[in-house]
Amino acid sequence: MSLTLYVDAARWRAHLDRTIRANPGLVPVVKGNGYGFGLDLLLAEATRLHGSAGVSQIAVGTYAEARLALSAYPGDVLVLEPYRAVLHADLPHLGDHALIHNVVSAADATDLGRRVADRGRPRVLVEGLASMNRFGMPFDGMGALLAHCSSEAGAAVDLAGASLHLPLGAGHLAEVTRWVDAFDVSRWYLSHTTPGELASLKTRSPAIDVRPRIGTSLWLGDLGALSVRGHVLDARAVAGGDRAGYRQRRLRAGTLVVVSGGTAHGVALEAPSAATTPRQRAIAVAEGVLEAAGRVRSPFTIAGRAAWFVEPPHMQVSLLSLPEGVTPPVVGDEVEVRVRHTTLHADEVVLA
């Protein structure tokens, strides 16, 4: 049994190439679950782009991911999480010269420079605290931290640029230009800026080297090239009142279908809702009412309709209920499943 991510390789790679052309200097983000593809596949794809499209750097989320990336990717590896002496000081790969660190305080920058001094000066980005308000140096302290990292008498690091991690959506040009205009930095790494914003910034400040860090819209920007399917493991007729599952839920007359795909694959895992419109809120309320009544629509599509869960998905399989009159699948069939790619852990990824 397996849950499989199928990728139309030609269509997917054509999208990657278009995105790179539209965003000069693009730095692919390779982190987490690899956006559903897995880190190994994305590192291999980033290596292909390194040779064919001039992609010279990638960004990873953590120092743990950096260790894998350093062994698999031929270019520079940026780490998005900030270097913190209390957390990262003993990591064996800190001094790898292909690594570009993110620093948010003078103390951490000094500690990093001291710890790897025998292997050369580490390269660092100074992260500014943008409106995302996650981590970074506040605007008022940014100049002093940049000076500390660029001074020979400072942190003993090589300043590779500055960085801003912005919220989702457009409308960040004014915020970005405020930082760019205020500080004498020749290279800026930016997350969540649009091609239009980048073009405007380049026109306004042609001497600045802008490096957009892009993950979701690069790897998942053409969902039509991707399909996730689970195998049917069993399908049998049941009578109204029969019971099934860990929780022994009562069934309606129809067909009980067992499919591969459960919580270990990321199926039906949810983050807190970001409902912002009346329609989204209404849907969330309706789904909550149904769930309270023991009726939860699954992300699996069978015979052109969303099937109902019998109970919450198991670790690797799900139990589904089809009503009478719906033609059931047979063992070995594959059925489509809607899943968040940032939580997806497929058993197999097939590029065809």
At residue 281, the pLDDT reads 45
44 touches 65 (CB < 8 A): no
Coil, strand, or helix at residue 29?
Answer: strand
Domain ranges of the chain: 3-221, 224-351
At residue 276, the pLDDT reads 59
d(CA 131, CA 167): 7
With 0.85 as the threshold, say if the pTM is over it.
yes
At residue 296, the pLDDT reads 87
* Nearest CA among 135, 146, 144 for reference residue 83: 135
CB atoms within 10 A of CB 261: 31
Burial letters 194-231, b for 16+ CB under 10 A, else e: beebbeebeeeeeeeebbbbbbebbbbebeebbebbbb
Residue 90, CA distances (Å) to 70, 119, 299, 351 in order: 17, 14, 44, 39
Fold of 3-221: TIM Barrel (3.20.20)
d(CA 216, CA 328): 35
In the sheet that 99-103 helps form, which strands lie side by side, from edge to edge? 27-28, 209-214, 187-191, 158-165, 123-128, 99-103, 76-79, 57-60
Residue 266, CA distances (Å) to 235, 275, 277 in order: 23, 21, 26
Q: Report H helices in the chain.
A: 9-22, 39-52, 63-72, 85-88, 106-115, 139-150, 173-182, 195-204, 216-219, 278-292
At residue 274, the pLDDT reads 55
d(CA 202, CA 121): 30
**CATH number of the 224-351 domain:** 2.40.37.10
Per-residue DSSP letters for 286-350?
Answer: HHHHHHHTT--EEEEEETTEEEEESSS--SSEEEEEEETTSPPP-TT-EEEE---TTT---SEEE
52 touches 22 (CB < 8 A): no
Per-residue pLDDT of the chain (352 residues; tens, 9 = 90+): 699 999 999 999 999 999 999 999 999 999 999 999 999 999 999 999 998 888 999 999 999 999 999 999 999 999 999 999 999 999 999 999 999 999 999 999 999 999 999 999 999 999 999 999 999 999 999 999 999 999 988 889 999 999 999 999 888 999 999 999 999 999 999 999 999 999 999 999 999 999 999 999 999 999 999 999 999 999 999 999 999 999 999 999 999 999 999 999 999 987 555 555 655 344 333 344 334 335 689 999 999 999 999 999 999 999 999 999 999 999 999 999 999 999 999 999 999 9
d(CA 153, CA 147): 10
99 touches 124 (CB < 8 A): no
At residue 326, the pLDDT reads 94
